[in-house]
């Protein structure tokens, strides 16, 4: 008898998270859907071919995340895969503190709260797969969106730390850093965007990388080249962007 595969997608109400939930369900996964907006989650749930579970979760309320996550994992029967797709960000050259604060609360505090809860679940089970969505924007600082780029650097480094912790534990836990460039979602703000991928293309490439248990995947793959160039770009040149 083939064991049912169970996945939880945090931020499943729109964008990449929504497409990941759809693709995983089509690929035979039982899916837990988590986000702030119940109505949108229930709309997606009606489209999924397999059974699914809905959990309202606002990761900006980081003190409530662990209880909400544990409730969902109990109802779904345990998670083999957790993907954290929830996030926010603003173009904020004027340094409006409310925008910076909101970004930090969701992308840093909220992300860490979910990742922490997921790792505890996997360590207790002795196995699992955690994936989080960072960004090519996290490779270097950005004067137009300083909190966003810094928060995505945190996501990548936090995931790397959890990967090291998993190896030390001896548990069969995989940790994947998903590094998108521009994907055609509400998060893709700004003019003159290039190499824009559809959410469907992004989800297809991400699922392929998750199956292969890759530690890092660039979406689309050409953004690995951009990341390499950014890492070696002199500071004076970076400041012109």
Instruction: Enumerate the active-site residues.
Output: 148
> How far from the centroid of its chain's Cα atoms is residue 115's Cα?
10
Q: Using CA atoms, how far apart are residues 96 and 220, in angstroms rounded to an integer?
A: 31
Closest by CA to 130, choosing from 38, 8, 26, is: 8
> 78, exposed or middle or buried, with CB in 10 Å at 0-12, 13-18, 19+?
middle
Q: Is the dihedral of CA 227, 186, 213, 221 positive or negative?
A: negative
Task: Provide the 3-class DSSP secondary structure of residue 163.
Answer: helix
On the 0-12 / 13-18 / 19+ scale of CB atoms within 10 A, 11 is buried
Round the CA-based radius of gyration of the chain to a whole number and report it: 17
Count of alpha carbons within 13 angstroms of residue 53, beta-carbon side: 21
- On whether the CB atoms of residues 23 and 47 are closer than 8 A, the answer is no
Chain mean position to CA 112: 11
7: helix, strand or coil = strand
């Amino acid at each position: 008898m083939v064991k049912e595969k169970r996945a939880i997608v945090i931020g499943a109400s729109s964008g990449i998270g929504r497409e990941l939930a759809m693709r995983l369900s089509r690929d035979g996964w039982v899916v837990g859907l988590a986000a702030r907006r119940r109505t949108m989650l229930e709309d997606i749930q009606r489209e999924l071919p397999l059974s699914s579970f809905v959990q309202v979760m606002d990761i900006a309320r980081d003190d409530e995340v662990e209880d909400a996550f544990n409730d969902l994992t109990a109802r779904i029967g345990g998670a083999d895969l957790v993907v954290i797709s929830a996030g926010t960000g603003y173009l904020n050259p004027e340094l409006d503190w409310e925008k910076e604060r909101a970004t930090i609360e969701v992308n840093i505090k909220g992300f860490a709260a979910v990742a922490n809860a997921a790792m505890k679940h996997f360590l207790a089970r002795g196995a699992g797969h955690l994936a989080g969505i960072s960004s090519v924007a996290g490779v270097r600082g950005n004067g137009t969106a300083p909190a966003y780029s810094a928060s995505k650097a945190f996501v990548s480094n936090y995931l790397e730390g959890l990967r090291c912790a998993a190896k030390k534990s001896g548990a069969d836990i995989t940790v994947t850093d998903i590094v998108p460039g521009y994907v055609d979602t509400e998060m893709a703000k700004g003019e003159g965007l290039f190499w824009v991928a559809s959410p469907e293309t992004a989800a297809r490439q991400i699922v392929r990388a998750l199956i292969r248990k890759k530690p890092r995947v660039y979406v689309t793959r050409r953004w690995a080249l951009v990341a390499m160039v950014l890492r070696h770009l002199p500071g004076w040149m970076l400041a012109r962007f």
